[in-house]
Amino acid sequence: MISLTLIILGNDNPDWATNAMAVLGHNGLYELKHIIQIDPSSYRGVSTIYTFDDDDFDFFEFNIESLTSFLKALQTINTEVTAILTANTNIMLLPPKLTNLAIASLPTAVELPRETAKQHPVAALNWMASTPLLKAALPQLEINRWSLLGVAIELERQNIAFNWGTTNINFTSLESEDYPKNNRFIFPRIANNIDESNINYTNNHLITNQSRVLAVIPHYRCEQFLHRCLQSLVAQTRPLEGIVVIDDGSESPPIDIVREFPGVTLLASAVNVGPYRLIQQAIALTNYDAYLFQDADDWSSANRLELLLAAAENTGAELVGTQELRVFEDDRLLPVVYPLNVSAALAEKPGHPLLHPTSLVSRDLVLRLGGFATGLRFSGDSEFLLRSQFVAKIVNIPDYAYFRRHRDGSLTTDRQTGLNAPVRLELIQQLKSRAIANTAAVREGKLPDLRPLKTAEAIELNYITGASLNWENSYDFRF
């Protein structure tokens, strides 16, 4: 088992402390060795080191009187990992098994929704990290910055490498009935509803662990976030076959940042066209089995791709997403959860059961549907999802494997294009009405209309720098 220290911030009640020790100290993953309890307002507290022997234990205790004595106590920690808990908060049920030099959030166990996304606000999000990372970061931070993101920023400032861990949402098996084995709305043919010249069926179109995967990152004015985004992708436990950043008409594409990562490719559009034309053109010009989406201001846990591929192979799904940790500018994290069986959720109603940038999609699915609605500058992901339900299995994994940044100026927060903007609300209603009409057609034995709602001409992408990709028809931009 992995040795564990608990640092408890604040004064706890005895029942809570007992429960915390039971959950985190005797779960088969971790062995509790050391507890440090400290009052954040005064730095006063107690450090207790435990020695366990079969069913009995002994302990050594000393008082913490100041920040200096706390930092001394911090240096006495010799366990592999340390969890930071706010006193009297809900205790998580399934803490992650961290790899070396990693940090991870510890959201509490939740019940997953059946139909659409659901937020789970928490007063304080507990977290854990490899102990050497904490020893490097905490002495440099004020105690009010002792958070998952505060420590990450400090480690990045010191150029200390680390991985982002993944937390499972109290869910243990991909064999659960929550995952679809068959989708009654799947049609073997969708002739007369899309341009069949776009269909490129293969003998093995399903995603497996051996699938060749390209990560696609649309980029526009996200330079301050792009390094973390790319670092999280190059550090995947299951390496990607390619990573491409596609700049959307910036005056100055992020050449220097991309060049820090030799395996990453930078393409650029001369004009600003929105993410869906960029994504669609990247898929059309390359030849991979599947595509991993990620926004340029977001980042992934280290095993995100590994988990997505395993779920796709287990379930036969061609579109697979993850759970979300929403990141706010004050370093708060908000757990947002999604249904496991996206196909079943969409069969009930056209809601929001999958977050597009968390997802992995098969190339065949994109081609069968005629691609994304490239004529849309926003909500093109929802439009694609609502068509996909009729021709593919769609699932989410039960893991928080994606960190999504909530910030001013993004497509979802901008006054003109945000989630509550009238023009977006009108489009969403149109998409839902179309999905409802398609569901009704299927139930009547008719074919659904699966054409992209609105398309635009293909955009020219220029090669800027980086590794060559697996181009369709052996075309290479560099020559």
Q: What are phi and psi of 430, to 5 degrees?
A: -65, -45
Handedness of CA 43, 46, 49, 50 (dihedral sign): negative
- Please identify which residue in the block is written with the tokens 């992408």: 461
| Separation CA 324–CA 334 (nearest Å) | 8
Helix (H, G, I), strand (E, B), or coil: what is residue 146?
Answer: coil
pLDDT tens-place string over residues 86-100: 888 877 655 677 777
User: Which residues have C-beta within 8 Å of that of residue 65, sequence separation ≥ 6?
Assistant: 43, 44
Total-model pTM = 0.90
Say what the pLDDT of residue 477 is: 52
pLDDT tens-place string over residues 247-301: 999 999 999 999 999 999 999 999 999 999 999 999 999 999 999 999 999 999 9
Q: State the CB neighbour count (10 A cutoff) for residue 409.
A: 10
Cα pseudo-dihedral 388, 213, 279, 384, rounded to 10: 10
Say what the pLDDT of residue 48 is: 76
Say what the pLDDT of residue 167 is: 85
Specify the length of the chain in residues.
479
Say what the pLDDT of residue 222 is: 93
Q: What is the mean pLDDT of each run of 10 residues along the chain (479 residues)?
A: 85 73 70 83 76 62 80 87 86 68 86 91 88 94 90 96 86 51 44 40 70 97 95 97 97 96 96 95 96 97 96 95 93 92 94 96 96 93 96 94 84 66 88 94 93 95 95 60
Can you read off the two tokens belonging to residue 322?
Answer: 């993850």
Q: State the CB neighbour count (10 A cutoff) for residue 113.
A: 15
> By the 8 A CB rule, do 269 and 246 touch?
yes
Pairing of strands 242-248, 394-405: unpaired
Q: Give 69's strand partners.
A: none
Say what the pLDDT of residue 200 is: 41
